[in-house]
Amino acid sequence: MLDGAVRIRLTALTASFRAPSFVAYQLSLAVPPLATIFGLLSAARGHWVMPHEVPWLAYRLTYAARAMDLEAIYSVERKDAADTPRFKERNIVQREFLVSPELDLFLPAEWRDPFLRPRYQLVLGRSQDLATVSSIGPASLEPVSTGPVTGVLLPAEVVARNGVTAVLQNLPVAFTPDPERAPVRVTMFGLIDGKRSTRGLQFVTIEDGAGWLVRDRESGVVVPLYRQEWILDGR
Amino acid sequence: MSLHWTGQPFVDAGLAALLAASGASRLSDVTATHLDIAVRELERILLSDQALGIGLEKSFAKGTLSQVFPNSELVNPSNWSKGPEGVRAKYRTALKEDLARAKEALHAERGDRLCGICGELRPSAGFVMLRRDRFPLLSGAVNFYPGFLSGVALCGLCALALRFSVASLLRVGERGRLWFLHCPSDIVAARIAQEYGWGHFRRLIAANQPLDFYGDWRTSGNSGAILCLLCQLLRKFANQLRTIYQHGIPTVAYVFSNDNRGGYVEGIPVPTSILDFLQSLYLESVDAFDQFERELLRVDTGRDKREEAQRARFVATIADRIVRAEPIVGASLVEQRLLGGWIAHRTYLREVNGMNEAVLALLERTGIALAQHERGKKLIGRLERAPARDVRAVLLDLVREGVLSGRELAALLPPNEPTSAQIVRDVLLAVVYEYQRCNEVGESFPRLVGGWAIPEPDEVVRRLERIAADLIRTLPNRRQWIADLMTARKTAQIRATYLRALRSGAMSLVDFLFLVPLGDVTQAWVLRDYLLAFLFELGREAVPTDIELVEGEEGATDEVSVLAE
Ligand SMILES: [Zn+2]
């Protein structure tokens, strides 16, 4: 049981989490990867946050709809990490985004203050996807073996155990700071879509959580909890 | 370090094709020798005259394939300047280098650089920078390469796998779009590559025809192609695939075009319930399975143009609904016929829409009763034209005549689920039409066998049943009272009728407030109908048979708007 945790709700008009598989034509993932969450933590705290600074975290993201944008882009490239980036060409690409995203973040209590007064602007994706902290409240997470989930990333083995509908993606858990920005670890997740329908949230029932699921007693929300050791080493 | 699925759709598509060509049975079993075998096959296929278009009208390499890998070694004009042998030499050299890097990655215990695709630490010397000529869908947006770099860095194994993805790609048949199933399963993915990739290529080469991606689906739309592939797989490899369909491996169909003038990519997750459905249907009856595919998913050529276009639209709509796991029975009712067969629809309702088996059996019974009813024609006509609220009225008539019980009505149309009216209507009509067809051709209707208990009614239904029982026991002049309740046109009239029962002591104040909740007009009409159902059932001798039941306008608005969504 994790008492004294916080639940931070971020809302925005739009969000976009580029599927790393598709570089030029952007599909948005339904759920942000862990690396994006570390980006958010970094923005809130004002310095690059790495996994060894966060003992655990959990989250889910729901949204109202998917939509497609057309974007004129000015391509920039460089030969290697030491080279100066140069403008290359202008192009028009499709960019998928999520409408009215709501992110519920569960974190250790010390994250309350950084999200009360974030150092940098919080975004759910790119710079235009401005986000706001709409509430911060107490959370107490208890382990559960089964439960309904939506808008979460499940480790691939949990997806396989339960045979649920999911989109599999290899996703980075975190990145090292600039200029290298190398992935700390990349692992396969199943994305459980969190699109809100007119009938409300649609859940997938996980019968065998294999030790991954926690339930917030305050809100009833069930989410997978990622421990620091797992994020860093997959153990 | 052994091979494994990566989660990157194109790389996984390549791994599937590599596995199929290698002769290994599992990805984790693939050795350097297997890599050699697979590479030899890739080389043989892609450097064949039929791939390069030597002596043929069409060149796969410069045509369709270049859409996937623009300006690859097989297209580049400077390679062609020395003729086909120049191209072949260039490709062989590049492939040999890739193979060497892949073997190195396979042998190395643990490298020093993390591959962003497979997530493994690999020797950094084996990494290659891929651009759009080697990695599909990298055209156009250079600045989305990580860190402004001029390409994406992949380990040797992932880079080699990408070359193989050609044997996993399929054609949709419209607008030049390609697609593949991302299904990280050694059996399914390799079977697809074996049958529709390698096998298809080999057949074309043997017939000296230009290579192309397989795309003979005779269906319409992206979803149609996906479903036809799933049907064909089940038919061809039923035994091997059974466990996969039963366990529901996460499966996403990626449809894409890599056209320079307008790239496109869409990921369509295939719900596991659809796999369950196809599998159950196939096991229940191969004939029903064939009929389902033929009547709902196939577009035949040879009709007139207008008819064919209409049929194509129909198939595309149904297939889209199936892939989204939405109800299809209503859309399958065409000119008083059910297309797709009742067994398939029944299985779909159960596996995909989650309909209870007992409710399905009850719907079957009710539909048949309707078809056999002496006023059947009138009742069925009412159902056909029915706005959702009339469905309840038609069923209520059946309760009045003793065909259904009050509890059965509540099981078919739970009072708190107004959206179920539409589907109940559609299913009843489906049963009616199918029953009529069976009678015409002398077949027996395929009824569900076995006895099922309908689900226990909820609190609200039990309370209505109890109120009805109280009323029947204590109400003076029951017949007139029930007639008044049946013919009320305004909510105020319902309330006035209840007040009479309250005054005579046949109804309590609490029940009165429950039946006409303040400010909720719709609810008052819904509850009245279920109360009537129990009154019909429990006080049959007091039920007027000659009075038409009236559905007030006031109660209708909300329900219709819910259904319009
Ligand atoms: Zn790799």
In sequence order, the β-bridge partners of residue B114 are B121
Give me the total of CB pairs closer than 8 Å, taking one residue from chain A and one from chain B: 136
pLDDT grade for A83, boundaries at 50, 70 and 90: confident
- A 10 A CB-CB count for B374 gives 8
Burial annotation B538-551 (CB, 10 A radius, 16+ → b, else e): bbeebbeeeeebeb
Asked if A188's CB is within 8 angstroms of B150's CB, the reply is: no
**Amino acid B565: pLDDT:** 30
Average pLDDT over all residues of chain B: 88
- Per-residue pLDDT tens for B303-333? 788 888 999 999 999 999 999 999 999 999 9
- Per-residue pLDDT tens for B219-270? 998 899 999 998 998 888 877 677 666 666 788 999 988 766 667 788 899 8
Tell me the CB-side half-sphere exposure of residue B4, using CA atoms within 13 A.
12
Say if B356 is an interface residue toward chain A (CB within 8 Å).
Answer: no
Asked if B141's CB is within 8 angstroms of A91's CB, the reply is: yes
- A 10 A CB-CB count for B71 gives 14
| In the block, residue with structure tokens 């049929």 | B311
**Amino acid B523: pLDDT:** 86
Say if A220 is an interface residue toward chain B (CB within 8 Å).
Answer: no
Ion ligand 1 residue ranges (Cβ < 5 Å)? B 115, 117-118, 155, 158
Torsion of CA A41, A45, A46, A48, to 10 degrees: -50
Q: How far does the centroid of ligand 1 lie from the alpha carbon of residue B438, in Å? A: 58
Cβ atoms of residues B181 and B165 within 8 Å: no
Which positions ≥6 away from B110 have C-beta within 8 Å?
Answer: B1, B121
User: With the C-alpha atoms ordered A143, A146, A147, A152, is the resulting torsion angle positive or negative?
Assistant: positive
**Of the spans B125-134, B141-150, B195-204, which averages the highest pLDDT?**
B195-204
- Per-residue pLDDT tens for B486-513? 999 899 999 999 999 999 999 999 999 9
- How far is Cα B32 from Cα B22, in angstroms, rounded to an integer? 10
Burial annotation A91-125 (CB, 10 A radius, 16+ → b, else e): bebbbbbbeebbbbbbbeeebbebbeebeeebbbb
User: With the C-alpha atoms ordered A193, A198, A200, A202, is the resulting torsion angle positive or negative?
Assistant: negative
Q: Is the pLDDT of residue B454 over 90?
A: no
- How far is Cα B105 from Cα B159, in angstroms, rounded to an integer? 11
Q: Which fold has domain A2-77+90-233?
A: Alpha-Beta Plaits (3.30.70)
- How far is Cα B363 from Cα B329, in angstroms, rounded to an integer? 13
Say if A68 is an interface residue toward chain B (CB within 8 Å).
Answer: no
Domain ranges of chain B: 9-167+190-214, 217-353, 355-456, 459-542
User: Which positions in chain B touch A94 (Cβ < 8 Å)?
Assistant: 263-264
pLDDT grade for A79, boundaries at 50, 70 and 90: confident
From the centroid of its chain, how far is CA B529?
35
- Structure ipTM: 0.84
pLDDT grade for B138, boundaries at 50, 70 and 90: confident
Q: Left if phi > 0, otherwise alpha if psi is -120 to 50, otherwise beta: which for B338?
A: beta
Structure pTM? Answer: 0.86
**Amino acid B177: pLDDT:** 85
User: Which positions in chain A touch B5 (Cβ < 8 Å)?
Assistant: 168, 188
Of the candidates B278, B308, B304, B271, the one whose C-alpha atom is nearest the C-alpha of residue B293 is: B278
Asked if B269's CB is within 8 angstroms of A179's CB, the reply is: no
Burial annotation B153-184 (CB, 10 A radius, 16+ → b, else e): bbbbbbbbbbbbbbbbbbbbbeeebbbbbbbb
Of the candidates B123, B121, B131, B122, the one whose C-alpha atom is nearest the C-alpha of residue B152 is: B131
**Cα–Cα distance list, B416 to A216, B397, B489, B530, B549 (Å):** 29, 20, 22, 11, 21
Q: How far does the centroid of ligand 1 lie from the alpha carbon of residue B129, in Å? A: 12
- Per-residue pLDDT tens for A89-122? 777 778 899 999 999 999 999 999 999 999 999 9
Cβ atoms of residues B74 and B211 within 8 Å: no
